[in-house]
Structure 1
């Protein structure tokens, strides 16, 4: 999704404790650096280590985005018909900074739940961009579908499908099935053996263009793959959760960022990997569009992340 890819900056020296392998480039007016978690390592502490190591090498970083996939919390009966491929963005509300750490809940004797701890908010420069992009999307379509199409045209291999590689294109509505929380997945490569009577019927969509939701994301150290556990966490948290993910909780108080997730499953036993590539692309495409609303001059006026951490 970068407009241009660069070599490492002249004179750049990686910190001795920084093991990140980075991609350098620009999107619009912004110079960016992309770092990923180590392969197969997905935990809150891993994300925090990746970010802190990056800051050791690049102390001038002023803000960040956490872009990846997540498990959607679909509630069609509550007018929240989130579907696979959709995008969720962490937006602060009166109770959270946009991310809630669901394992920091204390049970009270009166059967109420009390939140312990509070996660930080994204930088103001990103929240200002959120206001602008949401206002524009009320009167014109998102650029995400265009960016996805451009990606596939410039990288044809990404659109090719095989038995082991579903590719980075939309996977088809027939492969997006939501089941009741009381049901369970029948083991197999897909859901052919699952009881169709347990499937939740939803209004069909007329386009594959992803929808964007701005709400609270639930973060913790456990990968949620059970619908009953999913619903219990949502009930206990008392939050307007729309997505589960497992890295942001380790970042928000140490590397305040905006979290963008493409929905690749429904945090239940029906989880599979088919949608992961496509949804990672939808999240990245949204990040690209959002950066067009982030003013370069405002970024320059924003304190470096290291300065903020030193003041904390």
Structure 2
């Protein structure tokens, strides 16, 4: 192929370790140069095998597990829109048993069964009565086109498929002598399988000195070729190094192999998992087998692609009508807790046959709207085998257009251009052939994007499909917009209660020693306003810096700027978008002015009479309505309460835009105009205004201005009036 583009690549070959990627490259027919238009942070190699254009994706060095794999594949799906399936190829831990004589260097391939799709996430589920662990959810299985060719390859075992793998391994080692030492097969005398109760002594470098009387007795094999085993592969976020736990789980579920990444891929991209066995999931050392095991797994992947004609990776074959689609850019949150009332209400609204076709989730930014929508999407996927799910992040026009294009390509709509994708997807999803679907618009906050059309950009609302079998779910901070997009069908996500907030803190910290001081934990959660995103952010900072809850709380309480810096700390979270805009930018002038004004005084019990009156009554009501709609404020009667973290964030925004001093001066001038004298008839107003006057005059910015403008009547009168 003279030149390749991102649209040419149809097969994703995922590697968690550098040695796995090295083995993968040896199996390619050709190496391709890097195509243009790749801007995501993933690292890739490119090549061709039997006419298939293959992109090899790397996981971040040292960061393994299901979430890491899901993040990498999510970005791959956006960069390579015509990917049809994935191969997760590398090393894993084998589970030898009487029915499966698994040995080091053998290959285990994921194969669907009656209750699974070939991969199970053994550490994701719920505790049930009696101390048992019950798995929840089912992971996706590979497409039929892959499974039929895998069956064909399996049928060849009796005619020497294992020998074919040995030949591929030998050829690879002969072609590249630089890998021969690390990837050649170790001697069979180093393949030690010990009884489960016998533990390795960590002081020893290898197992040469382990008690050989503890070895399991096994018959020698007639061939040195690796065996291929088909069945269930267990995936989790921790390395399995306990032989007794290995055998207990394997016996219960029928597991042949343990590994750490596959569960993160299964629901992101249809995937077959291929693992070369490099250890037995016990405490013993077998690192010298890793290179050879990676090479045998890569050899099987090559054999599989050699059996699949390149034409089968065409979207028109694998993406046919009647096939359920899953195009969700964020992985499921394994730490999700709470919100059961809201989820139940959403499920009821979405399940009613003649019910609303549009539903909106609203609430303050960071309160967990995206996570609730994500959990609902995954539950629908598990419970309804006929419903496709599509996810569109609405953080920018460019992100929306790219998401629509990805949906068009996933649906098999041929030759759709970026500019036409929204209209084509709308037409398809509005037709009967689309069958059942759920379309999620996440972070639908920008009123102009949705409702205001211009010469170059039509309103996004014009592209919403209508279909009795289709459902649309919005998440938005903007309750006014929610009422226009999904009138009266709104589920509001409130602030968390202390018990649920504590559960989130417990799950994100994953360290019981840090949670022994319940009083400190409760105080910290109160300072974080029980906001899930703030709790997650705080946990990330605590873990990364190895500090205690009390240390973090002290930093948070010390002064406002410390709180701003702590709550602004970035952290790696695959459940967040990196380009979310500050919603303050979307407010109208009056709402922005009110928010800026309230950021300079006490955020609690703000009298409406204290606010500046530069607007008409309708403009005033509209502005306060917008602030309430974004959950920035909560109006009760004639008083307004501002969310504490919104108060901090707004002050920080004003400072960053170098207008905080301007607003302090404006508030001081307003306070001077309305603050009553000391006559006893004004006591009611005194009680209302005094906390806000004190908050202003004790602010560092006000003190600095007072020093610069000493003698200015407004400021001096304000200070003397509040101090009488």
Fold equivalence (TM over 0.5) = yes
Which sits farther off after the overlay, 20-29 or 63-72? 20-29
- Are 1:14 and 2:28 counterparts? no
Indicate the SS of the match to 2:109: strand
CA distance in 2, matches of 1:14, 1:74: 43
Indicate the SS of the match to 1:133: helix
Match of 1:163 in 2: none
TM alignment of 1:1-312, pairs within 5 A: 1-9=27-35, 12-15=36-39, 18-75=40-97, 78-109=98-129, 114-142=134-162, 143-160=164-181, 167-187=182-202, 188-235=204-251, 238-300=252-314, 301-303=317-319, 308-309=326-327, 311-312=388-389
- Structure 2, unaligned runs of 5 or more: 1-26, 329-387, 390-724
CA distance in 1, matches of 2:100, 2:242: 19
Deviation at 1:249, TM superposition (A): 1.0
Given that 2:196 and 2:244 are in contact with CA atoms closer than 8 Å, whether structure 1 keeps it comes out as: yes
Count of aligned residue pairs for this structure pair: 298
Deviation at 1:152, TM superposition (A): 0.7
CA distance in 2, matches of 1:131, 1:272: 31
In terms of fraction of residues, the more helix-rich structure is 2
Q: Between the two structures, name the one with larger relative contact order (CA 8 Å, sep ≥ 6).
A: 1
Indicate the SS of the match to 2:156: helix
Taking structure 1 as reference, are residues 232 and 40 closer, same or farther at Cα in structure 2, changes over 3 Å only? same
Deviation at 1:297, TM superposition (A): 2.1
Taking structure 1 as reference, are residues 215 and 307 closer, same or farther at Cα in structure 2, changes over 3 Å only? closer
Determine which structure has more spread, i.e. the larger CA radius of gyration: 2
Question: Deviation string for 1:25-83 (max 9, x for gaps)?
Answer: 111121111111122221111101111111121111111100011000011xx132100
Taking structure 1 as reference, are residues 31 and 153 closer, same or farther at Cα in structure 2, changes over 3 Å only? same
Indicate the SS of the match to 1:216: strand
Given that 2:50 and 2:309 are in contact with CA atoms closer than 8 Å, whether structure 1 keeps it comes out as: no
Deviation at 1:272, TM superposition (A): 3.4
Which sits farther off after the overlay, 256-265 or 35-44? 35-44
CA distance in 2, matches of 1:289, 1:196: 37
Indicate the SS of the match to 1:251: helix
Match of 1:164 in 2: none
CA distance in 2, matches of 1:57, 1:140: 39
Question: Deviation string for 1:233-285 (max 9, x for gaps)?
Answer: 334xx211000001011111112200000000000000332111110110000
Deviation at 1:153, TM superposition (A): 0.7
CA distance in 1, matches of 2:146, 2:269: 13
Indicate the SS of the match to 2:151: helix
Match of 2:572 in 1: none
CA distance in 1, matches of 2:118, 2:205: 35
Deviation at 1:145, TM superposition (A): 0.9
Given that 1:48 and 1:255 are in contact with CA atoms closer than 8 Å, whether structure 2 keeps it comes out as: no
Indicate the SS of the match to 2:91: strand
